Amino acid sequence: MKVSVLFSGGKDSSLSALLLEPFFEVELVTCNFGLLPTGEIAAKTAAELHFPHRTLSLDREILEKAYELLQRDGFPKSAINYIHERAVETLALDPAVKLIADGTRRDDRVPVLSISQIRSIEDRFGVQYFCPLKGYGKKVVDSLVGYYLSIEQGPSESTQKADYETELRELVRQRQGEEKIRQLFPVHFQSHVLSRKKFSLKKEENVFKNWKPS
C-alpha cells in the first residue's frame, strides 16, 4: 500500500516516514505556495532519506486566508491549522492518494486536525488519514530521532525548513517587514533533517536503554 506523508524536512515528518517504511510504500509530499523554493529544500532531505518526493502546489487563496487569520488573532495557531486542513484536502483530491499521514505528535497543538475535521475529509474524499506519532511524546520522539537521524536545529528564522510557517512568514515579511514577524510569531526552534544515521540491530534494540521518563 502507498502512503503520502506530508513532509517539511523536519524531524517529526521524517521519523513518521521511517516508522511507516516497513509496512507501506512511502512517498513524501511537500506543500508550496510559490513564494519560496521550499519544495527544493525538502526534496534534498527526501533524497538523503531515500524516499520519493513531490511538491504539491496549493492555491494562493489558502495562504491569503491564513494571512487574514494571523492578522486577526495576532498569533499563528489558527492560520497554520487552516493551511494544514486545506493541504490535506488538496492532497486528498488526487485520485491516486488513498492514505495520508503526517508528523503530528501526541502533544502538538499546531498543526492538528480535530476528529470532526478528519472524519469529514475521510468521508468526502474517500481517503484515510493517520498520524504515526500521535501516541508519542516529545522525549520519545527525540530519543528515536537521536538514534536514526542526523539533524540541525535552530531558531525558526535561521533554520532551513519547508513547513507551512515558512511561506506565511515570508508573506508577512514582504507586506509588513521583519519587525512584524517578530511580533506575530513566538520564538521557537525548528529542526532540519540532514540524513539517516547508520545503525546496527544491537543499537536498535537499545534505543531506550539509557532513557528515563521525567
Average pLDDT value for residue range 180-209: 74
pLDDT score of 208 more than 60:
no
Q: Which residues of 68-104 are buried (b: 16+ CB within 10 A; e: fewer)?
A: ebbeeeeebeebbbbbbbbbbbbbbeeeebebbbbbb
- Within a 13 Å sphere around the CA of 173, how many CA atoms are in the beta-carbon half? 10
User: Does residue 202 or residue 124 have the better pLDDT?
Assistant: 124
Specify whether the CB–CB gap between 52 and 28 falls below 8 A.
yes
Query: Which residue matches cell numbers 504515526?
Result: 132
Alpha carbon distance 156, 169 (integer Å): 10
Cβ of 63: how many Cβ atoms within 10 Å?
Answer: 22
Query: Which residue matches cell numbers 474524499?
Result: 125
pLDDT tens string 31-87: 999 999 999 999 999 999 999 999 999 999 999 999 999 999 999 999 999 999 999
User: Does residue 190 or residue 81 have the better pLDDT?
Assistant: 81
Domain boundaries, given as residue ranges, for the chain: 2-205
pLDDT tens string 125-155: 999 999 999 999 999 999 999 999 999 987 7
Average pLDDT value for residue range 153-177: 87
Model confidence, pTM? 0.89
CATH 3.40.50.620: does it fit domain 2-205? yes
